[in-house]
Amino acid sequence: MELHILEHSLKVASIAKEGIQFFTHGLIKLAFLPSKTRTLSCSCWCKFFTLTETPEDYTIIVDEEGFKELPVSEFLSVAEATWLALNVVSGGGSSSSSQPIGVTKIAKSVIAPLADHNISVFMLSTYQTDFILVRERDLPLVMHTLSSEFTLLRVVNGEAVAANSLGVTNGFVKPKLVQRPVIHPLSSPSNMFCVTSLDPDTLPSVTTILMDVMFYSSGVKESAAPSDDLEYIRFFSFSLIEGYVSLVMDEETQKRFPLNMLFTSASGELWKMVRIGGQPLGFDECGIVAQISESLAAADIPAYYISTFKFDHALVPEENIQSVIGALRTNKGGGQ
């Protein structure tokens, strides 16, 4: 297995809902015209951009080139650290048991060891792959932790080159392997989601729909969605990472797109969400992803996991939602 350390230096930011109008210009550029973010002084442009809308805020993950597009404003809060994205690439071609996809696949090999070493991670699943974001300052430790499992490769200028582990530990020579109880409260909204993508060439033809979905959700909600349903959650995620588009939207939103435009899997699967956290989770606590993903991995349930500024979100197949909730609830409280 290979672990690629990508070259993007990422910022995680949150835009308050009421301030979104100040940012639309920059966000549209980042989402639809990334090559226009190129500046005169710098030949590179934004290659990593995600926008996730939750009921609380908009979470933006963007590389340094793209971050310049966002105006300084009271509505913008930025997590203090610079983050690096890790990406697991199955080096060998054979591990063909493709069923437990997504976070569960890497739960054991990446997320649990990082949690054991008290390294805080930020997860971002897309249609194409899973990114594990770690703080740049934690990188030596990350490399040390993962060097036994993975071939570490650092992406430099688009080319993967071998990265040497620096042999740094944080003092926990032998991390304690404890049962990780699920600490935070969970909720499961009623609406179902699909994770999809589209041909970047066809992006222009759905731009207006996407802009509508991204920035005018409140209006839509009032008119069309069953607002009376308290279990309903407003959640939409758009990402454009190295040319690949990934979208997470609920069933209702999906219907607004023209037929055949979105990539849907042959099985047309739908996903239900498990939302983690009652209070904003912050960035320092570690082990949250591990708590969830290890349980899912144990039950062999595929999942997507999307962290946002305030809360974490796991997507699991609709038919598994009850067993997932059950499993997580059992796990809650640790030793029970």
Give the binding site for other proteins (CB under 8 A).
4, 88-96, 98, 101-102, 105, 125-130, 153, 155, 157-161, 196-197, 199, 201-202, 244, 260, 262-269, 302
The least distance separating other proteins from the CB of residue 34, rounded to whole angstroms, comes to: 16
Q: How far apart are CA 271 and CA 321, in angstroms?
A: 9
The least distance separating other proteins from the CB of residue 32, rounded to whole angstroms, comes to: 18
The least distance separating other proteins from the CB of residue 280, rounded to whole angstroms, comes to: 27
The least distance separating other proteins from the CB of residue 161, rounded to whole angstroms, comes to: 7
What totals of helices (H) and strands (E) does the chain contain, helices first? 10, 17
Closer residue to other proteins in complex, CB, 216/244: 244
Closer residue to other proteins in complex, CB, 62/106: 106
Give the HSE-up count for residue 296: Cα atoms under 13 Å, Cβ half-sphere: 32
The least distance separating other proteins from the CB of residue 43, rounded to whole angstroms, comes to: 12
The least distance separating other proteins from the CB of residue 269, rounded to whole angstroms, comes to: 7
66 SS3 class = helix
Closer residue to other proteins in complex, CB, 231/318: 318
Nearest to 256 by CA among 219, 310, 220, 285: 220
Q: Rounded to 5 degrees, what angle do the CA atoms 208, 65, 37 make? A: 45
Query: How, if at all, do strands 312-317 and 271-276 pair?
Result: antiparallel
Closer residue to other proteins in complex, CB, 79/241: 241
* H/E segment holding residue 275: strand 271-276
Q: How far apart are CA 86 and CA 69, in angstroms?
A: 24
Burial of 165 (0-12, 13-18, 19+ CB in 10 A): middle
Query: How, if at all, do strands 192-198 and 271-276 pair?
Result: antiparallel
Closer residue to other proteins in complex, CB, 109/197: 197
Closer residue to other proteins in complex, CB, 210/315: 315
Q: How many CB atoms lie within 10 A of CB 155?
A: 17
Closer residue to other proteins in complex, CB, 28/160: 160
The least distance separating other proteins from the CB of residue 92, rounded to whole angstroms, comes to: 6
Q: How far apart are CA 141 and CA 121, in angstroms?
A: 13
Closer residue to other proteins in complex, CB, 201/284: 201
The least distance separating other proteins from the CB of residue 127, rounded to whole angstroms, comes to: 6
Q: How far apart are CA 188 and CA 266, in angstroms?
A: 26
CA 264 to chain centre: 19
